[in-house]
Amino acid sequence: MAVKRCADIAVSARPRKVMRVVINSWSRFLPPYIPDDVMFSILSWLPSKSLIRFKSVCKAWHATISSSRFINAHLKCSKQRPSILMVPGAFEKQKNGNNIAFLMSLYKYQDTNIMHLQDFPQGICKWIRPVHCNGLVLISTRKHEMMICNPSTREIVSLPKGSRSLCDGMGIGFGFDPHSNKYKVARAFYQRDDDTSRHACKFEVLTLGSTAWRQTEDPPYPIDSRTLALEIWTCSVGQNPEWTRCCTVQIPPDLVIKHSIERHPLVVFHERRLLLASYKVYRYDTRTCKMEKIASTFQDFTCYDSRNSQYRTFLKKEVMDFHLFNYAESLVPIREF
Amino acid sequence: MAAATDDAGDSNEMIRVVSSDGEHFEMPEAAANLSLVLRHMIEDDCADAAGIPLAVVAAKPLAKIVDYCTKHAAKSSGLTIEEAEELKRFDAEFIEVDTDMLYDLLVAADFMGVEGLSKLAVQRTADLIKGKTPEQNRETFGIVNDFTPEEEEEICKENEWAFQITKPPSRLC
């Protein structure tokens, strides 16, 4: 029976009667038989790493785990188990103290455990804070190079380069559009306006799977990193997107990192709240307009050193930048879009 | 029929069920309603003094399921935070069973359509197998490896990192 089950993928059509016979007799004669829909649910609750390993169990499991129906079900379960992706970054120094590369690592924080997910051993230079959607993470650099990675499957795909910008790109968005069933990257950039010869903020969108960026309506307000107040605008979906202003948030001074360039804190929407984080974490309620500080437990972080295969702990001072955001691990493939 | 379709608060009526090995159990109607199969039987007026026969559920798992439904039916709506936590603790203790019982519960809860219990048993099973090797899973579920050695090697090679089960020594907090 078990042999047959393994070879047969579409088992949902199996008559209930056959199953009953097996259930009644398994305890004495046969290994346990689990109905396929139950097995499907069990697999849905497994971590991605286990699932990738279990693809080698048998052909039926391989087919199930690879199917888009399963990937969606698994993502749904994953979203019910809250986790945070932590991205510490630090300069790798030479003996003479010069910086040679900026290392970036991904860690997952879940149930008070911190798991190492992925490193970028070659280093990623001057990266902008990653953006997350359905287990996919958009990583981009100040030089406008972009890639999407899935830390749970370790798939990495480089994106086509966007329009040239006169300023370092800071305004980047990444999300899933349920209307077209596609993932989209949105990007603000600056061009010189021919009439006024001033910098004009433009907006373009890349649909994953396509090769070209598509320019859309300009944002109503320039997207700038050197500001002490945030303006939250929303854009409606549809043929003629409209921008609406939600609120203005004053950024507490201790959230602005004073480097050669000032960096504004990471801003994450969580229901009707905003999380603002750099070394400190603040919470802002958009309804009551209240800002409060959250105690942060992340004091220092480790980074994987590929040369001697060891984990090094970086003191807070050495970590140049640190991000965290809500994360749901998934098996969502990047290349198939 | 009228009794079954009266307002849901009328849960004093006891529903009798019979296991595959002939044992009789009783639970309040509200508890039985947590099972999709039993609810349909009650709605169709099949719940009589002789009891609803459950041909594929043996007495041992059925006793557990009756326990589960009775507990959850008593605390179904308007839970306080304490009550919700108590119910969570009950679930955690409830599912601490040996693997034979876990398999029985998996199959029986699925058959009877007890959604909460199905999820509980499924998550518990996932927890038990997540750290296992593919071979251990084949043994656990009686699955025959139908890959050729070459095919299997290719899959393993593709994702070598996923086969390193030991956790890296990176505790940060």
The CA distance from A155 to the nearest CA of chain B, in Å, is 10
CB of A4 within 8 Å of any CB in chain B? Answer: no
Residue B158 falls within a domain, yes or no? no
Residue contact A116–B170, C-beta within 8 A: yes
Question: Which 3-state string (H, E, C) describes chain A?
Answer: CHHHHHHCCCHHHCCHHHHHHHHHHHHHHCCCCCCHHHHHHHHHCCCHHHHHHHCCCCHHHHHHHHCHHHHHHHHHHHHCCCEEEEEEEEEEECCCCCEEEEEEEEEEEECCEEEEEEECCCCCCCEEEEEEECCEEEEEECCCCEEEEECCCCEEEECCCCCCCCCCCCCEEEEEECCCCEEEEEEEEEEECCCCCCEEEEEEEEEECECCCEECCCCCCCCCCCCCEEEEEEECCCCCCCEEEEEEEECCHHHCEECCCEECCEEEEECCEEEEECCCEEEEECCCCEEEEECCCCCCEEEEECCCCEEEEECCCCEEEEEEEEECCCCCCCCCC
Which residue of chain B comes nearest to A114, CA vs CA? B171
Contact A246, A233 (CB under 8 A): yes
Question: How far A54 CA sits from the closest chain B CA (Å)?
Answer: 5
Min Cα separation B62/chain A (Å): 14
Residue B36 touches chain A, beta carbons under 8 Å: no
Residue-number span of the structural domain to which B90 is assigned? 2-129
Q: What is the pLDDT, as a whole number, of residue B91? A: 94
Q: Which of A78-87, A88-97, B6-15, B77-86 has the lowest mean pLDDT?
A: B6-15
Residue with tokens 């088992």, as numbered in its chain: A11
The whole-number pLDDT of residue A292 equals 80
**Domain-embedded: residue B137:** no
What are the mean pLDDT values of chain A's consecutive 10-residue runs (337 residues total)? 37 39 37 81 94 94 95 93 76 62 73 70 67 89 83 88 74 86 88 78 87 81 62 69 76 63 60 66 78 60 56 57 79 81
- pLDDT value for B48: 79
Identify the residue with better confidence: A212 or B173. Answer: A212
Per the CB < 8 A criterion, the answer to whether A264 and A225 are in contact is: yes
Query: Is B125 touching A (CB cutoff 8 A)?
Result: yes
* CATH code of the region A82-327: 2.120.10
Interface of B with A in 63-102 (CB under 8 A): 100
Confidence at residue A203, expressed as pLDDT on a 0 to 100 scale: 84
Mutation target to probe the A interface, by most A beta carbons within 10 A, among B21, B118, B122 is B122
ipTM: 0.85
pLDDT of residue A162: 84
Does the structure show a pLDDT above 70 at B13?
Answer: yes
For chain A, the structural domain boundaries read 2-78, 82-327
Q: Does any domain span residue B38?
A: yes
Report how far residue A259's alpha carbon sits from residue A89's, in angstroms, rounded to the nearest whole number.
15
CATH of the domain at B26: 3.30.710.10
* Model confidence at B94: pLDDT above 70: yes
* CB neighbour burial string for B124-134, b if at least 16 within 10 angstroms, e if fewer: bbbeebbebeb
Contact call for B147 and A24, based on CB within 8 A: no
Give the pLDDT confidence of B100-119 residue by residue, as tens digits.
Answer: 899 999 999 999 999 999 99
In a domain, B146, yes or no: no
**Amino acid B6: pLDDT:** 43
User: Can you point out the beta strands (E) in B40-169?
Assistant: 52-53
Q: Count CB neighbours of A166 within 10 A.
A: 10
How many Å lie between the alpha carbon of B46 and the closest alpha carbon of chain A? 21
A residues 123-182 near B, CB within 8 Å? 154
Looking at residue B170, its pLDDT comes to 42
Chain A nearest C-alpha distance from B71 (Å): 24
Query: What's the mean pLDDT when you consider all of chain B?
Result: 84
Whether B126 sits inside 8 A of A39 (CB atoms) is: no
Interface of A with B in 17-36 (CB under 8 A): 20, 23-24, 27, 30-35
A310 touching chain B per CB within 8 A? no
For chain B, say whether A246 makes contact (Cβ under 8 Å): no
C-alpha separations of B101 from A291, A316, B64 in Å? 51, 49, 9
